[in-house]
């Protein structure tokens, strides 16, 4: 078992309940897509599986270890070193070099002396180059991160997780800054990486068609609860419409790669302020 959530709830300190009665599990090597409207709780669910947030109710095990408020800091640190997380906006220091950002994927696995030495002189340049080549960024190996576009930074974050070789990969909107063709290729890369190493992959995706085309298992999330958990071939149009329906019950257009591109093109026709290193 890769992870198991049993009737898990998550309530923040301000009283907001982000997740309620979540029961979800995955065997090692499974790939799962999370879909649902904005604010549904997909990011909170990924953060909980990754132990960035710990359940306030229910039980959770991740990679064979119980994760709860009773877990020690050392236990959680060791567990997190085995989890690779792709963030929608990669938390990468912009003055850092790309090679250093990629090698940070193994800081939790390296001894302290090696981690500190790598900040001054990268300890595995060949490994970083190989990971960057897989996301078509090998030419940016020694570039500074503040010289990259938003989409390139997102791919650096993916390269970092590829280099980490984690047993559990959590990806939160990993292709939100990429064009449709690159989005498809990148999602395929993550799925193939997980399959090749028998790692578990859980990815939240905005585009329904991207999820259905690449994942065998689809989990719908709405209002902090699971709406369905089904093989992709069994997800119906009616279930998707109910998942994305407006609060008043009126139907909503399903988010796809195509309409995301159309929205981007429409936005590009409006005057925009001049930005440095704007997302491409």
Q: In sequence order, what DSSP letters do the residues of 19-69 get, joined into one string?
A: EEEEEEEE-TT-EEEEE--TTSSHHHHHHHHTTSS--SEEEEEETTEE-ST
* pLDDT, position 280: 30
Question: pTM of the entire structure?
Answer: 0.89
* pLDDT, position 268: 39
Instruction: Give residue limits of the domains in the chain.
Output: 33-43+83-268
Residue 196: its H or E element: helix 180-197
Residues with Cβ within 8 Å of residue 186, at least 6 apart in sequence: 135, 155, 158, 174, 175, 178
Q: 147-205 pLDDT, tens per residue? A: 999 999 999 999 999 999 999 999 999 999 999 999 999 999 999 999 999 999 999 99
Q: Region 257-268: what's the mean pLDDT?
A: 52
Contact 143, 97 (CB under 8 A): yes
Q: What is the largest CA-CA distance in the chain?
A: 58
pLDDT band at 276 (very low <50, low <70, confident <90, very high): very low
Per DSSP, the three-state class of 204 is strand
CATH of the domain spanning 33-43+83-268, picked from 1.10.540.10, 3.40.50.720, 3.40.50.300, 3.90.230.10: 3.40.50.300
Q: Region 245-263: what's the mean pLDDT?
A: 80
Q: What does the alpha-carbon distance between residue 115 and residue 123 come to, in Å, rounded to a whole number?
A: 8
Partners of 115 in the β-ladder: none
Mean pLDDT check: name the lowest of 14-23, 30-39, 106-115, 177-186. Answer: 106-115
Residue 265, pLDDT above cutoff 70: no
Q: 205-225 pLDDT, tens per residue? A: 999 999 999 999 999 999 999
Q: What does the alpha-carbon distance between residue 186 and residue 179 come to, in Å, rounded to a whole number?
A: 10
Q: Region 88-101: what's the mean pLDDT?
A: 90
Q: Region 20-45: what's the mean pLDDT?
A: 97
Contact 206, 221 (CB under 8 A): no
Give percent helix, percent strand, percent coil of the chain, each to the nearest 5.
Answer: 40, 20, 40
* pLDDT, position 271: 37
Q: What does the alpha-carbon distance between residue 60 and residue 51 come to, in Å, rounded to a whole number?
A: 9
Greater model confidence, 108 or 197: 197
* pLDDT, position 272: 37
* pLDDT, position 260: 54
Q: What does the alpha-carbon distance between residue 213 and residue 237 come to, in Å, rounded to a whole number?
A: 15
Q: 49-94 pLDDT, tens per residue? A: 999 999 999 999 999 999 998 899 999 999 999 999 999 887 888 8
Q: What does the alpha-carbon distance between residue 58 and residue 27 come to, in Å, rounded to a whole number?
A: 19
pLDDT band at 273 (very low <50, low <70, confident <90, very high): very low
Q: 5-29 pLDDT, tens per residue? A: 999 999 999 999 999 999 999 999 9
Q: What does the alpha-carbon distance between residue 3 and residue 26 come to, in Å, rounded to a whole number?
A: 6
């Amino acid at each position: 078992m890769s992870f198991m959530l049993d009737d898990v709830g998550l309530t923040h300190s301000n009283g907001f309940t982000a997740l309620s009665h979540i029961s979800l599990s995955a065997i090692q090597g499974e790939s799962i897509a999370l879909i649902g409207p904005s604010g549904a709780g997909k990011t909170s669910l990924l953060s909980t599986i990754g132990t960035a947030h710990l359940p306030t109710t229910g039980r959770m095990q991740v990679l064979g270890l119980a994760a709860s408020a009773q877990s020690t800091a050392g236990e959680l640190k060791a567990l997190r070193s085995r989890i690779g997380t792709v963030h929608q906006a990669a938390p990468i220091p912009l003055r850092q070099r790309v090679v250093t950002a990629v090698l940070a994927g193994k800081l939790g696995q390296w001894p302290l002396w090696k981690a500190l030495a790598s900040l001054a002189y990268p300890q595995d340049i060949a490994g970083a180059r190989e990971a960057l080549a897989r996301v078509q960024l090998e030419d940016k190996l020694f570039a500074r991160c503040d010289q990259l576009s938003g989409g390139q930074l997102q791919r650096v974050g993916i390269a970092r997780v590829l280099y980490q070789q984690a047993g559990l990969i959590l990806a939160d909107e990993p292709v939100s800054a990429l064009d449709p063709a690159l989005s498809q290729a990148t999602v395929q890369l993550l799925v193939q990486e997980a399959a090749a190493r028998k790692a578990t992959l859980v990815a939240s995706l905005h585009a329904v068609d991207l999820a259905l085309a690449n994942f065998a298992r689809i989990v719908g999330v709405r209002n902090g609860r699971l709406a369905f958990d089904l093989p992709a071939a069994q997800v119906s149009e009616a279930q998707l419409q109910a998942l994305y329906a407006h609060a008043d019950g009126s139907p909503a257009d399903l988010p796809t790669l195509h309409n995301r591109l159309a929205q981007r093109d429409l936005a590009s026709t409006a005057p925009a302020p001049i930005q440095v290193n704007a997302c491409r």
